[in-house]
Amino acid sequence: MIEIKLVVNEKPYNLNVEPSERLIDALRNRLGLLGTKEGCGEGECGACTIIMDGKTVNSCLVLAAQANGSVLTTIEGVGNRRSPHPVQKAFVEVGAVQCGFCTPGMVLSAKNLLDKNSHPSESEIGVAMSGNLCRCTGYDKILRAVKIAAEEGKQ
Amino acid sequence: MKTSVVGSRVTREDAWGKVFGQTKFPADVNLPGQLYAVVIRSPHPHAKVLSINCDYALEMAGVVAVLSAKDVPHNAHGVLFRDQPVLAEYVRMVGDPVAVVGAETEEIAREAAKRVQVEYQVLPTVFDPEEAMKPDVLPLHPSLRPTNVLYHMPIRRGSMEEGWAKADVVIEKEYNTQHVDHAFLQPEAVLAHLDERGHLVVQTATQYAHYDRGEIAHALGLRFSQVQVKTLAVGGAFGGREDISLQVIAALMAWKTLRPVKMENTREESFYSHSKRHPMRMQYKTGATKDGKLVAMEAKIVGDSGAYASWSINVLRKAAVHATGPYVIPNVSIDSYAVFTNNPFTGAMRGFGAAQTVLAYESQMDLLAKEIGISPLEIRLRNIFKVGSTTATGQVLTSSVPLDQCLAKITPYLQRGGESE
Amino acid sequence: MKYFQPQSVEEALELAYTSEATFLAGGTDLVLHMRTGKVQPLGLIDLGKISVLREIKEIEGSLEIGSMATFAELGKSELVFRKAHALWQACQTMGSPQIRNQATIGGNLGNCSPAADGLPALLALGAEVCLSTKAGNEILPLESLLSRTPLLEQGTLIRGFRIPINGQKSGFAKLGRRKALAIARLSVAVSVEMNGSRIDNVRVALGAVGRRAFLSEALGQELSGQELNNELLEKGVLEVQRIVREALGTRASAPYKRVAVAGVFREALATIIPEGGK
């Protein structure tokens, strides 16, 4: 076991983790943050996307120990029913959610894009969302939701 | 009539839980003291299980139980026929489950699963459905069918002799489609436990909670009232969660160990444990007059059921019924077959048999149009179903056949050569 | 398994010398290989906290890239865009945004998949690799390293790459099954020096053709010192097809890749030739 320090959703944690333990497992099993989903376990689907030090990563491809000293945002740290993030609001309103398994990862990729670039072009939105798969065929609405969230942010 | 729902935009209430990551999928529920179970699957497509040695697995600290066919009271499940074992003694495809390990952690269960030694007698295999159909090939399910032909659906209409006599142009081609996986984004997961009344509670993502309950009760020899299946959020299904995957195995482990049991497929395990779309081999012969009227069609469709029946009969029936496409053809002969092989089993997937034949009949239309020298649009306009048309199965279409309107809408697009405005 | 997080290169080399542990770069390949059991390291030396290994800078006519620079950092670097265009391009299409944020150029070499996205570009650009062990440093051309088996001895750290800046122009093209998250089925990187309409010092490297990415010196020589026109382009196409045919032999992918490489080669060249040029 090794000790790591993390800040997750603005709360500091000291955790003991196994050297081979993946970040997704530490988040889900040790911190109970079950909003991060595992779809493929090999970095193809993006369901496990989180934001680490301002960048999106697949938490299934990062060891918990590698995140030592990092600041993380998971879906639990983004919005709530009383005050949803513009991306979350747009996803619901546009109907960009079907089965919902890809949704947390999608929301985090979109949020991180808008954090960096409040006026993304359509192609920038496309690239930012390209690491997240949806199997219910909702890309059109997902991209539209991100665009609407971006426009809302401009006002 | 105007309503507040039809024709207006409605917000999905379940979307809120999903955008906040609060929605519970089956991997997201846990119980204190739960075991983790991992399945040992056959690497062989056709084999008899001669012996299973669990000693090395049971020696590991934290391993609670290893179960196999002998532990299943009624070792069968399936949607049309109970032809699929819960834990196989006789393997018909790669990925058939032969044993399951229950342990205190997932890591221990996965390690222990590697230490279970299964001795197989490898048997001859058949992967080509047309080969498997031959009467001298040994049947995979002799108690169900004397040959590997699970199903044959013939459709006959009019007179083929007359039809071919009228045909100025005949196109004869073979079309093949492949296996497709649903690849729903959420891999199968189950949490099974005994509640305070001693009833089995199985939480999973399924398309048929009521049917799962019946299958679990049957396999374990319980009454329906002793089994409760709760459907949690379903992370995509597309037909791939119509058959049983881990439900009975998890329930069995919970029943035998009296502990809550959690199972989660990896993506790889998921590919092994649910059905696929039927590959179909479609031999088509279609005839038309020189002015583009369809007069005859013969089709032989062979669908690969793989190792188990699942919904193959219904799927190949649907393929047969849709084999002409939305076109009037007075003389038709269709033979559709579902055939057992040692390939992965095939079942329900979006379109349910209607999707594959599109490749064949629409390609035939394009080739006929080219041969006759008219546009692909024109040949369709001359043959489409309208109100009053009779289909190959003799159904008279009495209402709502707006195919002409649909084609009219896309005509400008087709006239631009398929370019968007 | 032990896990180390050294703060300096020296510390990392010392750990590698004493522990027989494996270097961990971004981990996007290694973490997967550990899960499948393909790699079973005795320990891990995480290089992620050594900031000096992340640097991208221009020094004395060379572009120096630290091994822990991520694909995202390289793909956003103005310097890489201007001085090592083929590499910059390769970084745009590798994996997905999430993978580019984590995966490093040094890890790309360490893992050395046949389809490694960064290697053809580095080869075409004439990159040298800087290796370090506790015993000392070694600098050698990437193509020389790629001919070694095993690629790296235990305890050898990939410190980074040095790309000469000599006005060369370069381009890259990749064939994948889709835009994002596609493992390269075929990739081509080209670098040239333009002297009027003549091209000199042509270097062509191929990826996903055989065991490791490689530089085709024969093709480079064939095309060097000649007028860049359609005739030369077609000659290059025939030659690159011959190379792929020889490299792949009877592999199942050979008939496809032999044809496809023509398009990928043309595309790679097109990315370096200014519009309207020949």
**Domain residue limits, chain B:** 130-181+276-415
Structurally, chain A folds into a number of domains equal to 2
Residue A155 has pLDDT above 70, yes or no: no
Structurally, chain C folds into a number of domains equal to 2
User: How close is the nearest chain A Cα to the Cα of C240, in Å?
Assistant: 31
User: How close is the nearest chain A Cα to the Cα of C237, in Å?
Assistant: 31
What integer pLDDT is reported at residue B1 of this predicted model? 62
Residues A97 and A146 in one domain: yes
Band (pLDDT 50/70/90 cuts) for residue C102 is very high
* Domain-terminating residue out of A37, A58, A77: A77
Q: What percent of chain B has pLDDT over 90?
A: 95
Band (pLDDT 50/70/90 cuts) for residue C266 is very high
Band (pLDDT 50/70/90 cuts) for residue B4 is confident
Chains that touch C (3 or more CB pairs under 8 A): A
Residue B2 has pLDDT above 80, yes or no: no
B258-270: pLDDT as tens digits: 999 999 999 999 9
- Cβ <8 Å between B236 and A136: yes
- Cβ <8 Å between B187 and A91: no
Residues A72 and A97 in one domain: no
Q: What percent of chain A has pLDDT over 90?
A: 96
Residue A1 has pLDDT above 80, yes or no: yes
Which CATH number characterizes residue A135's domain? 1.10.150.120
User: How close is the nearest chain A Cα to the Cα of B242, in Å?
Assistant: 16
Query: What's the average model confidence in pLDDT over A58-74?
Result: 98
In the numeric block, which tokens belong to residue C93? 């299409």
A75-128: pLDDT as tens digits: 999 999 999 999 999 999 999 999 999 999 999 999 999 999 999 999 999 999
- For the question of whether the overall pTM of this predicted structure is more than 0.80, the answer is yes
Residue B338 has pLDDT above 50, yes or no: yes
Residues A91 and A70 in one domain: no
Residues of A in Cβ contact (< 8 Å) with B271: none
* Domain-terminating residue out of A77, A99, A125: A77
Whole-number Cα distances in Å, C245 to B8, B274, C114, C261: 59, 39, 16, 10
Q: Interface of chain A against chain C, CB under 8 Å?
A: 2, 19-20, 22, 41-44, 46, 49, 52, 55-58, 60-63, 65-66, 68-69, 109, 127-128, 130-133
Residue C256 has pLDDT above 90, yes or no: yes
* Domain-terminating residue out of A24, A54, A77: A77
Owning domain of residue A37: 2-77
Domain assignment present for C252: yes
B290-306: pLDDT as tens digits: 999 999 999 999 999 99
Which CATH number characterizes residue A12's domain? 3.10.20.30
Residues A72 and A91 in one domain: no
Chain A with chain B: Cβ pairs closer than 8 A: 100
- Diameter over CA atoms, chain B: 78
B368-418: pLDDT as tens digits: 999 999 999 999 999 999 999 999 999 999 999 999 999 999 999 888 877
Domain assignment present for C97: no
Domain assignment present for C255: yes
Q: Look over chain C and give the mean of its residue pLDDT values, rounded to a whole number.
A: 94
Residues of A in Cβ contact (< 8 Å) with C46: 63, 65-66
Owning domain of residue C5: 1-45
- Cβ <8 Å between A43 and C179: no
Closest-CA residue of A relative to C98 is: A57
d(CA B42, CA B321): 36
Q: Look over chain B and give the mean of its residue pLDDT values, rounded to a whole number.
A: 96
C3, C19, C38: best mutation site toward chain A, by most A Cβ within 10 Å? C3
A76-87: pLDDT as tens digits: 999 999 999 999
Is-contact C19 C2, C-beta < 8 A?
Answer: yes
Domain assignment present for C208: yes
What's the CATH architecture for B130-181+276-415?
A: 2-Layer Sandwich (3.30)
Query: What's the average model confidence in pLDDT over C210-222?
Result: 94
Which CATH number characterizes residue C200's domain? 3.30.390.50
Q: Which ipTM did the prediction report?
A: 0.97
Domain assignment present for C192: yes
d(CA B171, CA B294): 11
Residues of B in Cβ contact (< 8 Å) with A109: none
Band (pLDDT 50/70/90 cuts) for residue C276 is very low
Closest-CA residue of A relative to C37 is: A20
